[in-house]
């Protein structure tokens, strides 16, 4: 698809959503990871729509991703939430991952709060802990900005010197401590999936400087930074990666663990929406 066609589709989808959610002008968006739908803030005046009903949005194919866009209000903010995301491993072009982020920006969003379930690359980073992202390593072998540039989306070569907003990071760490959740800042290693990592791969990722590994977040962050959105990444450790623990975790267990941490993560997200950091 030509870049001009992509821009037209973004504008068409945004216009459709503005009509659906008339009166909402969201400045903050939240994307929920696997099993984390219950962690989303309790918004007032909610308006929800299924992805399959939104022009340009396909239905999500991953269990634990509801596939629903929700508008609402909290802390003086109009908010839009994606209950489920799109992944490179679902077989879509990685450039498609940029599409919903661009639609969110067209709706007026300036802040993007990302959540995800991740695997730990280090023995000291245990399941149940929270990692606030400070940086990432893109090992997906591709980039969501390739082949779909339009000046309306920002610079062709966006700066990635500070991908995750410092003020939002500091506030998230503070809120995690208040919620009595063990939280550290860390580096996300992005891989394509859907297979989990081998023990040898885990060793390499750790040597490169990664703390956690996952199959999302980074394409969304790259797209958001091109659009000049402020990004915060909140990742909960669902399991140890291969070779660190003898226990083999299934996707079903990841979803079950997600339900257990959802309440704490919800507190942190709601705290961010009510904080001064989100307004800076």
Active site residue 239: yes
Return d(Cα 44, Cα 79) in angstroms, integer: 10
User: Tokens 């969003």 label which residue?
Assistant: 109
Question: Structure tokens of 222?
Answer: 């790259």
Question: Structure tokens of 149?
Answer: 């540039």
33: β partners: none
Active site residue 77: no
Return d(Cα 77, Cα 262) in angstroms, integer: 21
Which residue among 51, 87, 116, 232 is the active-site one?
87
CB 184 within 8 A of CB 235: no
Which residue among 185, 251, 253, 259 is the active-site one?
251
Active site residue 34: yes
Which residue among 21, 29, 32, 34 is the active-site one?
34
What sign does the CA torsion over 194, 230, 113, 120 have? positive
Q: Chain centroid to CA 258: how far?
A: 15
Which residue among 21, 82, 117, 183 is the active-site one?
117
Crossing angle (nearest 10°) for helices 98-106 and 3-20: 50
Which residue among 14, 29, 39, 65 is the active-site one?
65
- Our CA angle for 87, 89, 94, nearest 5°, is 60
Active site residue 87: yes
Active site residue 251: yes
Which residue among 3, 48, 89, 179 is the active-site one?
89
Cβ contacts of 53 within 8 Å, gap of 6 or more? none
Which residue among 11, 48, 74, 90 is the active-site one?
90
Which residue among 14, 32, 98, 215 is the active-site one?
215
Which residue among 95, 111, 238, 239 is the active-site one?
239
Instruction: Look at residues 100, 85, 50 and name the one whose alpha carbon lies nearest to residue 70.
Output: 50
Return d(Cα 253, Cα 148) in angstroms, integer: 37
Active site residue 216: yes
Active site residue 117: yes
Return d(Cα 220, Cα 31) in angstroms, integer: 10
Which residue among 111, 216, 242, 275 is the active-site one?
216
| Residues annotated as catalytic (active site), given as ranges | 34, 65, 87, 89-90, 117, 215-216, 239, 251
């Amino acid at each position: 698809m030509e870049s001009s066609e992509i821009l037209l589709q973004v504008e068409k989808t945004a216009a459709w959503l503005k009509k659906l959610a008339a009166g909402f002008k969201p400045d903050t968006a939240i994307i929920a990871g696997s099993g984390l739908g219950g962690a989303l803030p309790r918004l007032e005046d909610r308006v929800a729509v299924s992805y399959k009903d939104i022009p340009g949005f396909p239905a999500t194919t991953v269990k634990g991703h509801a596939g629903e866009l929700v508008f609402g209000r909290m802390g003086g903010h109009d908010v839009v939430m994606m209950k489920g995301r799109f992944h490179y491993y679902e077989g879509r072009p990685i450039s498609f991952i940029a599409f919903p982020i661009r639609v969110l920006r067209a709706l007026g969003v300036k802040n993007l709060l990302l959540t995800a379930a991740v695997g730990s690359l280090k023995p000291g980073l245990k399941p149940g802990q929270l990692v606030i992202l400070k940086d990432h390593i893109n090992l997906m072998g591709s980039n969501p900005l390739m082949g779909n540039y339009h000046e309306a989306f920002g610079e062709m070569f966006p700066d990635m010197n500070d991908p995750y907003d410092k003020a939002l990071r500091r506030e998230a760490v503070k809120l995690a401590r208040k919620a009595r959740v063990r939280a550290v800042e860390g580096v996300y290693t992005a891989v394509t999936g859907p297979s989990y990592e081998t023990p040898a791969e885990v060793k390499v990722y750790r040597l490169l400087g990664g703390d956690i590994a996952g199959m999302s977040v980074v394409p969304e962050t790259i797209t958001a930074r091109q659009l000049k959105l402020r990004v915060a990444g909140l990742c909960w450790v669902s399991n140890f990666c291969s070779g660190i623990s003898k226990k083999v975790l299934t996707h079903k267990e990841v979803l079950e663990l997600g339900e257990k941490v959802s309440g704490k993560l919800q507190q942190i997200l709601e705290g961010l929406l009510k904080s001064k950091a989100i307004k800076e």
